Amino acid sequence: QCTLTAFWLFGTEREANAIHDAAPVADWPGPPEEAEPAMHGKGPAFIQNNFEILRAQEQQGPGEPVVRRWARLTDREGLDPVSELILLGDVLPPGAMRAMKRQGPISSVNWSFNLLEPAPATRDGWWMSENASQQAAHGYSSERLRLWNADGKQMLDGMQCVAVFG
């Protein structure tokens, strides 16, 4: 049975009492214009029909539990930028996929995120997404999700719990 529980917290901007940028992305892969296609013809139909995905890391297959890709919606006309980031936040598989001993289904248990900019923006709709498993055991993975714009500025920081079956 499907269930959804949501908690939304909205705040307004105010004068900052602390200011510092998010750390720059490690191993910047270069702009999306220089990346090669990834996941072409692979993954769920929803992803194939609604997103363009490009490589943003050399690694393929098993290994370090991190998945990093450039992604954009194929049709984002009139879409609010925050809604766009929410859609992109769930487009990649979890980093734990690279550490799985055998293929099997996965499922998000929960997801929370912080928007780092009140009006996120990028160039040509491209966002670099990174899912990294922080720890995986007992059938679950604790994942960190980050999204950067095409110029390398982080716009979203999140985390989720993923059930790893198989």
Domains of the chain (ranges, CATH numbers): 32-164 (3.10.129.10)
3-state secondary structure of 49: helix
Name the helix (H) or strand (E) containing 135. Answer: strand 127-137
> What was the pLDDT predicted at 147?
95
Rounded to an integer, the average pLDDT of 122-134 is 95
Q: What is the pTM of this model?
A: 0.86
101-127 per-position pLDDT tens digit: 998 899 989 999 999 998 999 999 999
Rounded to an integer, the average pLDDT of 58-75 is 87
156 pLDDT band, cuts 50/70/90, is very high
150 pLDDT band, cuts 50/70/90, is very high
Q: Give the rounded distance of the alpha carbon of 95 from its chain centre.
A: 10
Residue 53: φ, ψ to 5°:
-130, 130
Residues ≥6 apart with Cβ < 8 Å to 2: none
